[in-house]
Amino acid sequence: MNLRKKTLIIANWKMHLNTHQASLLVHRLDERIQVHRDIEVVLAPSMLSLQPLSQQINHRKFKLAAQNGYATDEGAYTGEVSFAMLSGLVTYAIVGHSARRIYFNETLEVVRDKVQAAVRNDIMPVICIGETKQERDAGEGRQVLHDQLTTALMNITSRELERVVLAYEPVWAISTFDGIIAKPDDIEKSIAYIRMQLRELYGEKAAENMYILYGGSVNDHDVRSYLEVPGVDGALVGAASLNYHQFSAMIDAAYRMRTEA
Ligand code: PEP
């Protein structure tokens, strides 16, 4: 945990909770979570809940993220919501999540264009990168990270990089894929590799300042062990973020870690 940076914890609710249920969950979280200056708590509900939740939340306590967006600002793209439309409503947008790469065939180039569109519309992309189990077993993990990272950042300047977040999410560790519990050591090595790539692209300082989150079956019992991994600046949480006891316990754990440090 780098005390010079905030701890960033993002709840990815995926395709769960209707607007009523989402509102109820925010109400429960609001009762349990305090405003902490050094902890940024971000909620990523479905597209449908963003507008009502933006009216409900205490914006000092919670920020909003979209789970997706369309790269073109406007046009005849039936069913899509652009980053331009999300601008002003959300602070962050998850881009390149493995569910989108795998189920919706998002290519490296699609992710690259979404990253650029998010930045253009003043939304911070949270770019998810990570290898599948098959790629890991074939010894292709590093190559996958390299390709996903360099393509996603292809059109991003050093200045814009300050408004970009990365999430290392090995697909094999995500609860709804293989759900294998990642060892802190594995995560540390991958994140060190990602920072090395960033250093080559943007230099030492930019690489150091970059927020890199870990995601993959994080829960309230093990969040601490992940936040302790050198180079990890926060967590992207899926399944466990739907449970208000677990999610608020994670924020508490992060807060305790910071106060003890
Ligand atoms: C995710 O899908 O981004 C994720 C990290 O999910 P989970 O925590 O459920 O593994």
Q: Which atom of ligand 1 is nearest to the CA of 97?
A: 3
Instruction: Assess whether the C-beta atom of 239 lies below 6 angstroms from ligand 1.
Output: yes
> Residue range 1-27: average pLDDT?
96
> Residue range 223-243: average pLDDT?
97
pLDDT (0 to 100) of residue 35: 96
Instruction: Assess whether the C-beta atom of 216 lies below 6 angstroms from ligand 1.
Output: yes
pLDDT band of residue 261 (cuts 50, 70, 90) is: confident
pLDDT (0 to 100) of residue 1: 80
Residue nearest (by alpha carbon) to ligand 1 atom 7 = 238
> Residue range 231-247: average pLDDT?
98
Torsion on CA atoms 58, 220, 216, 204, rounded to nearest 10: 70
Regarding beta strands 234-237 and 211-215, do their DSSP bridges make them parallel or antiparallel, or are they unpaired? parallel
Q: Which residues carry out catalysis?
A: 97, 169
Instruction: Assess whether the C-beta atom of 12 lies below 6 angstroms from ligand 1.
Output: yes
Q: What is the pTM of this model?
A: 0.97
Instruction: Assess whether the C-beta atom of 234 lies below 6 angstroms from ligand 1.
Output: no
Q: Tell me how far apart the alpha carbons of residues 15 and 67 are, in angstroms, rounded to a whole number.
A: 9
* 3-state class (DSSP) for residue 66: strand
Beta-bridged to residue 39, according to DSSP, are: 7
| 21 dihedral zone (left: phi>0; alpha: psi -120 to 50; beta) | alpha
Annotate 204-229 with three-state secondary structure. Answer: HHHHHHCEEEEECCCCCCCHHHHHCC
Continuous H helices in 91-236:
98-103, 108-120, 133-137, 141-152, 158-161, 184-202, 204-209, 223-227
Q: Tell me how far apart the alpha carbons of residues 202 and 204 are, in angstroms, rounded to a whole number.
A: 7
Domain boundaries, the chain: 7-260
Is the pLDDT assigned to residue 82 strictly greater than 90? yes
Mutate to test the pocket of ligand 1, among 126, 176, 219 (most ligand atoms within 8 A of CB): 176
What fold characterizes domain 7-260? Answer: TIM Barrel (3.20.20)
> Residue range 55-65: average pLDDT?
98
pLDDT band of residue 69 (cuts 50, 70, 90) is: very high
> Residue range 132-159: average pLDDT?
97
Instruction: Assess whether the C-beta atom of 238 lies below 6 angstroms from ligand 1.
Output: yes
CA of 27 to the centre of ligand 1 (A): 22
pLDDT (0 to 100) of residue 178: 86
181: which DSSP letter?
A: P
Is the pLDDT assigned to residue 174 strictly greater than 90? yes
